[in-house]
Structure 1
Amino acid sequence: MGLKGKLIASVEVKCGGHSIHDFFHIHTHHIPTISPSIINHFEIHEGETVKVGSIVSWNYNEAGQKKFIKQVIEAIDPDKKSITWKVIEGDVLKLYNSFTAILSCEHEWTTWTIEYKKKTEDILEPLIQLGLLLDLTKDIERHLLKK
């Protein structure tokens, strides 16, 4: 069993993947209001909301525990409707040497990819984190469909 891994999950969204991408790109600051059971707080530390090089942080709930994560926006591809966040600080780095989340949206599909490197082989794959991203996507979809 290796230390490096990649998890990929896609979810169909009735509002269209482009709407999910646009929400993460433009309205990120609204996510704690839309999905308070998952995200408690979002903050921009450097740069603009979602621009390459921006540094953002999230307070979130994972398995009933409060967690923190700080990320740098590594890439945005408006044509592919993708955003890449690399973790630079936070609870997830207690288990993983590196952790990157990639959102990509195509037609009615939203896909999350997590690329990670575990500190030791006995650490579990980040299935809980992937599940949180999928649940967050569904919360945003419900919000967009209400409009």
Structure 2
Amino acid sequence: MGLKGKLISSVEVKCGGHLFHDILHAKTHHISNISPSKVKSFEIHEGETVDVGSIVQWTYNDDGKDKTCKQVIEAIDHETKTITWKVIGGDLLELYDSFTIISSCDHLWTTWTFLYEKKTEDTLEPLVFLAYVLHVTKEIENHLLK
């Protein structure tokens, strides 16, 4: 069994991928209001907006525990509505040597790709975190459909 992994999940979003991408890129700070039980806060530590090179931090609740995830924005492609978020600090790095999250949106789909390297062979695949991200995705979709 290898230490490197890749998980991909696509979910239909009836609100349209362009609106979902807009939330992730330009209105990211609203996600804690949209999904307050899951996302406690979003802060930009370096940079003024979610842009390439910006450093951001999420505080989130996972299974009743507050956790953090600090990321640098590695790439943004507005044409394909893709954002690459590389984890540089926080709880995920306790289990993984590296972790990158790629969000991409098209007409009716949002796709999440996790690229990661586990610290040990015994480390589980990040399926629980993927379920968490998909839950927040559905909450954002419900907000956008109101």
1:31 aligns with 2:35: no
* Runs of 4+ residues deviating >2 angstroms: none
Q: Displacement of 1:10 after TM fit?
A: 0.5
Q: State the one-letter code of the partner of 1:92.
A: L
Please report the TM-score for the alignment, with normalisation by the length of structure 2.
0.98
Match of 1:97 in 2: 97
Uncovered stretches (5+) of structure 2, i.e. residues with no partner:
none
CA distance in 2, matches of 1:100, 1:48: 22
Asked if structure 2 preserves the Cα contact closer than 8 Å seen for 1:32 and 1:39, the reply is yes
TM value normalised by structure 1: 0.97
Count, aligned residues: 146
Equivalences for residues 22-101 of structure 1 within 5 A:
22-101=22-101
Q: Is the 8 A contact 1:49 1:56 kept in 2?
A: no
Partner amino acid, structure 1, of 2:23? F
Q: Is the 1:104–1:111 Cα contact (8 Å) retained in structure 2? A: yes
Q: Percent identity?
A: 68
Describe the superposition over 1:41-96 as per-residue Cα deviations: whole angstroms up to 9, x where unpaired.
11010002310000000110112211011000000001110001000010110000
Is residue 2:145 matched to residue 1:137? Answer: no
User: Contact 1:28/1:49 (CA < 8 Å) preserved in 2?
Assistant: no
Helix, strand or coil: the match of 1:98? Answer: strand
Distance 2:112 2:121 in 1: 23
Q: What stretches of structure 1 of length at least 5 have no aligned partner?
A: none
